[in-house]
Amino acid sequence: MGNVVSGRRGILIFDCGSQFTQLIARRVREAHVYCEIHPASRGMDLAFIKRFDPKGVILSGGPNSVFEPGAPTVDAKVLDLGVPVLGICYGMQLVARLAGGEVTPSTEREYGRADITIRENAGVFAGFTVGEQTTVWASHGDRLDQPPPGYRVTATSQNAPVAGMRHDAKPVYGVLFHPEVVHTPRGGEILENFLFAICKCAADWTAGQFITEQIAGIQKTVGTKRAICGLSGGVDSAVAAALVHRAIGDRLTCIFVDHGLLRMHEREQVERTFRAHMGIDLRVVDASGQFLARLAGIEDPEEKRRRIGHTFIDVFEAASKDVPGEVGFLVQGTLYPDVIESASPKGGPSVTIKTHHNVGGLRPDMPFALIEPLRELFKDEVRQVGRELGLPEEMVGRHPFPGPGLAIRVLGAVDPGRLETLRRADSIYLEEIRQAGLYQDIWQAFAVLLPVKSVGVMGDGRTYENAVALRAVTSSDGMTADWFAFPPEVLGRIANRIINEVKGVNRVVYDVSSKPPATIEWE
C-alpha cells in the first residue's frame, strides 16, 4: 500500500482490516513521524521488514477473530526482532496468540465508549496514574483472560481482564482499544509514548524535509528528459506541478485540459493563477467536444471515470508532440487516500470503493512513465507542502475537486445542457458559502444534478423540473466525513437563489449522510 522510502526509517503499520488503519497513520504523521501502511501479509516476510528497518511496528485492529481460519497474521518472529511493537485491539490479540496466549470469544462484548483502569504508569501509559480510569473507544468481541507467558497486565476494564499488556523484557505492547480515534481522549499521549519514549523516533517528518527528498528523487528519475503535468485547477495537481517544477525547472510543461466538465470560470481562473504565480510553461487544450462525445449516453460512474481517464491520456499524448525535447513522464497529483480507496493490495483486506481516474483508470499502454510525488500524503499534508513551496492560499485552500469534474456530479447521462444547469447551481452555492464566511469551515461543498424530476409550482403554473442536491462535509483527510450543519437561513438563501436563478430547477435538497456509510461524492 506504500513504498519504502530509501534512507528514511519510520513506523511500519500492518493493516489487519480495521476501518481506522488510516487514522493510525494520520496520528503518526501528525506527530511528524514518517510511517507507511502495508497489508498484514507483508508481516510474514521478515526480509521485507528488515529492509524497511522500522523504528517500530504497529499492528492495527480488524474485524476478524484471531482464531478464525484465514485471519490476518504476521510472522511470530516479529516479536523477537528487538523492534518495538504495538498491537491495537485485534493487533493486541494477535500479539497474545503469537506469544502463546489464549484468545476466546467473550459473552460480554465492548463496542463504543468504555472505561479502562490503569495498572502501571510506564510504557505506553507513562504519565498516567495507577488506579485512574480513562475513557477509550473499544471494538472487540473476544477476550484474553490472562496475558501470555512473559507479559504483564497494564490496564483492565469491566469486561476485559487484559485491556492492556506489555512484555517484561521485550519492547512489545498491546492495548485492547483504539487510541487513534478522537473518542479516546488521551489516545494521543499513548501513541506519542510509543513513538518517542519507546521507539525513539525523531519528529522530522516535515513539509520541508519531504520537499528536499522528493526533489532529489524526481531529479534522479527524470534525468535529462522532460515531463508534462495535467493541471486540473485543484490543490493536488497544483502542488505536484510546483514540486516537480522546483526539481526540473523549465523541463516541465503543464497542460490544462478544458474537458467541458469544469466549474464556472474554471478555465480563466487556472490560466490567470498558474501563469501569474508559478511561471510555468502552460498549454491550454480545448478538448470538450472529444470528452463529451465519449461520454454520450454513458450513465455508469465507473465507466465515466474509465473513459475520462483514457481520454486524458489521448489528449496528453497529442499535446506532448508540441513540447520540445523528449517527454518521458506524466506528473499526477495522486494522494494516499486515492491509492487506499482505489485498489486492494495483494493480500490486504481493503476493497475497491471507486476507481480514481488517476489510479487504475489510466490506459494500460500509455506512453509515459508516471511521477506521483504526493502519493504517500494526506490532503492536509499536501496543503502544507504547497504553502512551503510558496503557492497562494487561494490555490492551496481550495476544496477538493474530482479529476473527472462535473461528469460524476451529473448523475446519469452527461450532456451540455445538464452540465450548464449544474454549473450555475454549483456557482451560486459556493458564492453564498463564501459570502457567509463558511468556506474554510467546510472540507468540500458541491451541488449534484439528480436524474429525477419533481412537480413544483411557480407563479400560477405547474412545473415538472430537475432536483439539485447540495453536499457539504467536514473532514480532516477525506477518509471519513460528517455533514456540515449550515445555519438554516444560509441554507434557505442558497436554495431560494438556485430555484429562482437556475432555469429548469424547482427543488433543492440537502444531503445529511456521513462517510461511512455514504461516500462524499454521489456519482
The verdict on whether 180 is a catalytic residue reads: yes
pLDDT in the model for residue 314? 86
Choosing from 178, 245, 259, 357, the catalytic residue is 178
The verdict on whether 254 is a catalytic residue reads: no
Q: Could you tell me the strand order of the sheet in which 369-371 lies? A: 281-286, 252-258, 226-231, 327-331, 369-371
pLDDT in the model for residue 3? 41
Closest by CA position to 440, among listed 378, 507, 380:
380
SS3 458: strand
Phi-psi region of 181 (alpha: psi -120 to 50; beta: other; left: phi over 0): beta
Within 63-168, residue ranges assigned H as helices are 90-98
* CA atoms in the 13 A half-sphere facing the CB of 504: 14
The verdict on whether 178 is a catalytic residue reads: yes
pLDDT in the model for residue 274? 76
Per residue of the chain (523 residues), give pLDDT as tens. 334 344 568 999 999 998 889 889 989 999 999 998 999 999 999 999 999 999 999 999 998 888 889 999 999 999 999 999 999 999 999 999 999 998 887 766 667 788 999 999 999 999 999 999 999 988 777 878 899 999 999 999 888 899 999 999 999 999 999 999 888 999 999 999 999 999 999 999 999 999 999 999 999 999 999 999 988 778 898 899 999 999 999 999 999 989 999 999 888 888 877 777 678 888 899 999 999 999 999 999 999 999 998 998 888 788 888 888 888 898 998 887 777 655 343 334 333 333 344 444 455 666 788 999 999 898 889 999 999 998 888 888 888 888 889 999 999 999 999 999 999 999 999 999 999 999 999 999 999 999 998 888 776 677 889 999 999 999 876 777 899 999 999 999 999 999 999 999 999 999 999 998 899 999 8
* CA atoms in the 13 A half-sphere facing the CB of 82: 2
- The one-character DSSP state at 41 is G
Strand partners for 15: 39
Choosing from 16, 89, 199, 254, the catalytic residue is 89
- Rounded Cα distance between 447 and 425, Å, is 7
Phi and psi, residue 449, nearest 5°: -90, 115
pLDDT in the model for residue 352? 32
Q: What is the 3-class SS of 236-302, one letter each residue? A: HHHHHHHHHHHHHHHHEEEEEEECCCCCCCHHHHHHHHHHHHHCCEEEEEECHHHHHHHHCCCCCHH
Tell me the three cell numbers of residue 353. 470503493
Choosing from 180, 192, 372, 376, the catalytic residue is 180
